[in-house]
Amino acid sequence: MKILTCAVIWISVAAVAANPFALDKGDVVRPIVTNHGMVVTSEPLATQIGVNVLGNGGNAVDAAVTVGFVLAVIRPRAGNIGGGGFMLVKPADRNGVTVIDYRETAPAAAHRDMFLDADGNADSQASRFTHRSAGVPGTVAGLAMALERAGTISLAEALTPAIALAADGFPASARFVDSIAAYAERLHTWPATEKVFFNADGTVCKPGEIFVQKDLAETLQAIADKGTDAFYRGQTAALIEAEMKRHGGVMTAADLAAYAPRIREPVHGTYRGYDIFSMSPPSSGGVHIVQILNILEGYDLAASGHNSARTIHLLAEAMKRAYADRSKYLGDPDFVDVPVAGLTTKAYAQTLRNGIDEGYATPSRRVAPGTPPGWESGETTHFSVVDRHGNAVSNTYTINFGFGSGIVVDGAGFILNNEMDDFSAKPGVPNAYGLIGGTANAVAANKRMLSSMSPTIVLKDNKPFLITGSPGGSRIITTTLQVIVNVIDFDMNIQAAVNAPRVHHQWLPDAIRLEPGISPDTIRLLGAMGHTIEIKSVMGAANSILVDIDNTTFHGAGDPRRSGIANGP
């Protein structure tokens, strides 16, 4: 057994203690407070390594990129170099927010009906668990672009901790072992995957044992030595193409060589005097966060009370109207005309608000996509970083399901995404998260599939105030939304805002999903209003940061739902 010696991997006592709160405990809910920056991720080791980068003089982008690669090693169920995502960056020395879209793209051989069976029905097995389910990965190119545009360290430096953790290994936590065991059936499907995640006798490693990933270490080292071309045009691309040819996939080396991340304009809105910047299409997240906030701005939520029946009713009614619009209008803006400006106007929100009965639920069958002005007729992980200078990063990336497709690229050591399932295989048929899609999100060659990922930065007087986002499939949008509302409307500290029980409505199915912790009396009142109620397991993992307006104090909140960890230098 190898013992890790690289100094960057040690976890401080402060990092481990950063999240002592459980949703079902009555503890005092306090954020972690520092004066020199903050990193909040889903893994103690990743948080501490990000803190080390800040402590050594790196900025928020340096720390975020380093964390992104580290999570690809220590959290393979969601962290990745075989997937894609979105990053928002608020530079301390410039107005506005920069968006990097490194979402996966469909291979050139993809076509509209590729996931329909002989009878014309959507084949979910094909779109989720075969080699055809993988989109062209964007993470390596996206993280490298962020570093080139706004970082201060080299790509090789950012990769150093991840390479060490892959080559020398890291102690497997009980949560890490449990996650492999939970997905064992899928991971046993492919020999290359078995080789990475299981012992020779098919068993899972024990907690505390050192988990080594030699092939992944070599892949990361090649990127450090030769840059992104090592992944998109070199040996890794050849390994991906060979993997596809062996198993009926359609991605080619040419698809990888053609991949490029995009700089996008963020979606921008205002809410009660704060500027909201969030992810633009091909994510639906920012559009609908701003749209829902615009609707809610017409109500005095503070007077209604946090998670009161009236507040939850208004949240649900606003949510279902936004998700109805999502089903019709949202897709890759390089392929379809997405009416972002119309969907996010205050006037359109007023029109939608006029249709809300404040005392009774509108059945979803009576809620159709609206007509915004100017319109003619998807397992994820989020992390937030801010440095002492006021640079802020909100990043969400994914391989879709836990462990994505379950397919490891033989010889390269990383898991491929199954993001092709985020397209609408057949208009009107729900995807794995129950989301209804239309022709705007149909499969097409080189197209980016629609996402719900919603990395968000809230500014006050052009300074970072709140950095947030979440995993959670269709619940990403509503999770992120409620953190914002909890802080602005209900004046919660950031840890209380993150911990508070969440609600979700996505138009179809027509039901409010509630986390445990909502009052039984509130549930009874919602039923009397005509709502169908479903009590479900926890939603999201909104690792968030609140910044004092003078940029001297940083309040970090790791989400206890997935053992989030906050810490600072």
Q: In whole angstroms, what is the distance from residue 451 CA to residue 271 CA?
A: 23
For residue 476, give the H/E element and its range: helix 476-488
Q: Identify whether 266 is preceded by a cis peptide bond (ω within 30 of 0).
A: no
Q: How many beta carbons lie within 10 A of that of residue 8, not counting itself?
A: 18
Cβ atoms of 325 and 343 closer than 8 Å: yes
Q: In whole angstroms, what is the distance from residue 378 CA to residue 453 CA?
A: 7
Which stretches of 54-138 are assigned E, i.e. beta strand?
84-90, 98-102
Q: Identify whether 509 is preceded by a cis peptide bond (ω within 30 of 0).
A: yes
- Half-sphere CA count of 52, side-chain side, radius 13 A: 20
Q: Which amino acid is at 366?
A: R
- DSSP assignment of 190-258 equals SHHHHHHHS-TTSPPPPTTSEE--HHHHHHHHHHHHHTTHHHHTSHHHHHHHHHHHHHT----HHHHHH
Q: Among this protein's residues, is 380 annotated catalytic?
A: yes
Q: How far apart are the first and last CA of the chain?
A: 31
The active-site residue out of 41, 252, 380, 468 is 380
**413 closest CA partner among 178, 139, 80, 158:** 80
Q: In whole angstroms, what is the distance from residue 369 CA to residue 439 CA?
A: 14
Q: In whole angstroms, what is the distance from residue 538 CA to residue 502 CA?
A: 8
Kindly state the tokens that stand for 85. 């995502």
Q: In whole angstroms, what is the distance from residue 535 CA to residue 512 CA?
A: 8
Rounded to 10°, the helix 60-74/44-55 angle is: 150
Each residue of 457-484: b (16+ CB within 10 Å) or e? bbbeeebbbbbbbbbbbbbbbbbbbbbb
Catalytic residues: 380
